Chains A and B, each alone.
Chain A
Amino acid sequence: MSTRAEFLRRIRAELARTPALFPATPSLRPAHPREVADTIRRELSERWPATLQRFQQEFERVGGVLHRVATVQEVPSVVGRLARERDARDVLTWHPSALGFDPARGLADEKLTCRTMPEAVPDAAARRALRDTIATTPLGLTGVDVALAETGTMILRSGPGRPRSTSLLPATHVAVFDRTALVESLAQVAVLLEAWHADEASGAVINFITGPSRTADIELTLTRGVHGPKDVHAIFVERPLRE
């Protein structure tokens, strides 16, 4: 077993022998990422229709299905249709504070059982039971922190009321977002990542999700839903969720 000090000592000794192959510097970082992020968001809010169009193009390219509704009240009917197509009765959802709206009533109207993730953390036994629930529910409904148009990616941060497996264990993942989530490029996401990591309040994981789970490990034949969801749906709500 080695110590940190030994490692560093050896590294420094080697670097003293050949310090550089050529002059190089790491990327220039924004000095005030939160401010730059706010500026980006402000500028993007002007062009959201074009960004949405690009997102749809890329999202569909990786096998996602995009739905558009005018208001959040229509979300449950989309979920209801997807559930019926899959002979499913149960839907897992993030806590309303994480979703930005409460779908429970609407889903009940669609004759679906809504299993809402709790915001507070219960004891270990309850958490295990919750996990079993998540593992056996066919649809998972989440929000979206960032909808990245360049690649058709949805970025979801973990945290209270928004456990990671909601978008992982169910066979169908449905994500709801509005124009405020739209971002154009990976370069812009980099600024957001810089801003976020200073935010101690958020959860331990950030997940970038680009379409359904896939593999081509057997004879390079593409198959979906290896371990993660077999299909991924995104519902874009025209009227912003948090006004």
Chain B
Amino acid sequence: MSEAELATPFRDRAGRALQDGFLQQALTIATTKFLELRREAFGEFPEGDALRDRARAIKEATLQRLDHYLEQLVDNVERLGGHVHFATTPDDARRIILDIAKRTGTRMAVKSKSMATEEIHLNEALEAAGVTPVETDLGEYIIQLAHERPSHIIAPAIHKTKGQVADLFARELNRPNVPADPEVLTAIARAELREKFLQADMGITGANFAVADAGTVVLVTNEGNGRMVTTLPRVHVAVMGVEKVVPSMTDLAVFLAILAKSATGQKLSVYTTLVRGPRKPEELEGPDEFHLVLLDNGRIAQLGGTLREALYCLRCGACLNVCPVYRSIGGHAYGYTYPGPIGILLTAMLNGAASVKDLAHASSLCGACADACPVRIDIPRMLIELRKEVDEKKIAPWSERVVFTLVAWLLRHPALFRLAAPLARVFQRPFARGGRIERLPLFFGEWTRTRDLPAVAARTFSERWAALEREGR
């Protein structure tokens, strides 16, 4: 999202999203479908729960010795003919990739879907350097043509209707009279992009996993673009967050068993591609060069930080699909690369706690995300930690801190607390009718604009206890 858009308060961005009829419909259909598919998949998979526990343990074990596993990964990738680069910041990563592009004479790069490359805003940098990036995942292709950012971690264009896509193709691809038929639209994308695959100089991907013991990078996709992009161009660049490394192939299988099920309800995605460096000399096809760019961008600092558990994330999107907030406002309203419950944590990781002073409260703490997460990340706990950090660092507005400090003080003094009810009864008198309040001034109007409020009772329970106690004797 642009600086200008981020300047709009989150609450207003959320409000706009709530007013968008198309978006509301699309969100409901898509998230409902995904969460039903996930439930069905795990419903038929009794081993699922035990595997989720295993997966979580593997992630934690890996982080505990992350230095060891990364070293092993690097050694193996290099031994198999690949090159490894270390990017601490997004700028580092961009420069590394641009250098490779320059050295290899790359004019066009085809990209398989990668949230890591979104994070580092790679496309803009490539364009500025005269390299044309072409998104090939259908959803990413659509939003690239529309000059938008993805609105969901795994289904980037779910906010678009087929009519909108048809109009987009007609306009951007110079194909008048395109019908709003997903089959036709897909066929158009297939034809347009096949040319690009065959002509591209470089393929850029992310990586779902990298197996340390085998120097192997793993891509989980459905469309085939992941395979195209790692087979046809002469250079392959994979950008990967350091936390994606897993120790062994045995560990990999645990994740493969639960990832696609969590994301889309499939047992496995259509293509799982294990890439072990550039093509062997005896192979007919494959890139001549393989580059793995290991990305830090705030991850390493969290190894010893409060958001460490967020490093387990598999980027499956399950938490988005069950989050009542995401399901109401969609991805763009969050304003950053990663939306939804995990997105708030990742944004804090990448941009610091201050960046989520509003987003940390974009949650009713219902816990549906933690339940859905295949690696059982306790997202609500970390949201509360972020809120705490925002309070402690005095990022929260002083008026709020005053109110909470006052409330806390009141709760410690029961005699004063008991005054709250009679005082409230006095203040509410102009507003209360039949035990209900329909309108309140100032801050309290935030509730009453859309909901009634029960009036403070004529006699509180505490005030009735004496009589109730006598009744019991």
Contact = CB atoms under 8 A, between A and B. Distances in A.
Interface of A: 1-4, 6-8, 10-22, 24-30, 58, 62, 117-118, 121, 127, 130-132, 135, 150-153, 158-161, 163-165, 168, 186-187, 189-191, 193-194, 197, 203-221, 223, 225-229
Nearest to A218: B182
29 contacts: A1-B86, A6-B88, A7-B70, A7-B86, A10-B300, A24-B57, A24-B58, A62-B270, A121-B283, A127-B285, A150-B267, A151-B268, A158-B283, A160-B284, A163-B283, A164-B231, A193-B214, A197-B276, A204-B283, A207-B274, A218-B138, A220-B155, A221-B182, A223-B182, A226-B190, A227-B193, A227-B224, A227-B227, A227-B228
Contacts, number: 288
A206 B194 contact: no
B26 A4 contact: no
Range, interface on chain B: 35 or more
A208 B271 contact: yes
Interface stretch (B61-69, B393-401, B427-435): B61-69
B376 to A, nearest CB: 11
B176 to A, nearest CB: 19
Interface string B45-72: 0000000001011101111101100110
Interface in B264-286: 264, 266-286
Where chain B touches its partner, the secondary structure class is helix
Interface string B220-254: 00111101101110000000001000111111111
B223 A190 contact: no
B262 to A, nearest CB: 15
A204 B58 contact: no
Contacts of A135: 194, 198
A186 B251 CA distance: 11
Contacts of B267: 58, 62, 150-152, 210
A225 B95 CA distance: 35
Contacts of A226: 138, 186, 189-190, 222-225
Contacts of B95: 1
Given A14-B303, A22-B60, A29 B250 contact: yes
Contact of A164 (B88, B96, B227, B248): B227
- Tell me which of A131, A208, A212 has the highest count of chain B C-beta atoms within 10 A of its own C-beta: A208
Given A18-B308, A168-B227, A227-B227, 10 more contacts: A1-B86, A10-B300, A24-B57, A24-B64, A25-B57, A131-B285, A160-B283, A194-B248, A204-B286, A210-B268
